Amino acid sequence: MDGDKPENSQPSVASNTSPYAYYAPEDEINLVDLWKVLVRRKKELFGVAGVVTLGAVLYALLATPVYRAETVFLPPAASDIEALNIEGVQQININSVYTMFEQNLSSKVFVADHLR
């Protein structure tokens, strides 16, 4: 055993330490120096931005567009066509109303006349 050192020795701590971190002036960012680096590397920056932009434009022009729409029409309920039935006149049923609706829906003349 060494007689010069006590066995439970702890490192000494300075008595006037600050709770805030200290940064040396060399660690600060100088915006002028940063600007100079960006100006020196402007060809590289514009090159990367140009390649990414060109890639995005090519993808947008060459990608196959995918469009999908789905519509389902249900036949009308009996209560929906009740007002169309008048006493003494030919009675309208659900199938005739739905068939007429399908014909009008697929007719280009019908659609064009109602768009004006």
The per-residue pLDDT for range 88-108, each reduced to its tens digit, is: 566 777 788 788 888 877 766
Mean per-residue pLDDT for 9-23?
61
* Cα–Cα distance measured from residue 67 to residue 50, given in angstroms and rounded to the nearest whole number: 30
Its pTM stands at 0.36
Q: Quick check: 55 and 49 in contact, CB under 8 A?
A: no
The angle at the Cα of 64, spanning 59 to 67, to the nearest 5 degrees, equals 125
Nearest to 84, CA basis, from 72, 74, 96: 96
Domain ranges of the chain: 27-62, 82-115
Mean per-residue pLDDT for 72-87?
76
Host H or E run for residue 55: helix 42-62
pLDDT at 28: 77
pLDDT at 76: 79
Mean per-residue pLDDT for 68-83?
80
pLDDT bracket for residue 111 (50, 70, 90): very low
The per-residue pLDDT for range 29-56, each reduced to its tens digit, is: 889 999 999 999 999 999 999 999 999 9
* Helices 42-62 and 31-40: angle between axes, nearest 10 degrees: 60
pLDDT bracket for residue 58 (50, 70, 90): very high
Q: Check residues 21 and 46 and name the one with the higher pLDDT.
A: 46
Q: Quick check: 111 and 90 in contact, CB under 8 A?
A: no
**Average pLDDT value for the chain:** 77
The type of residue at 52 is V
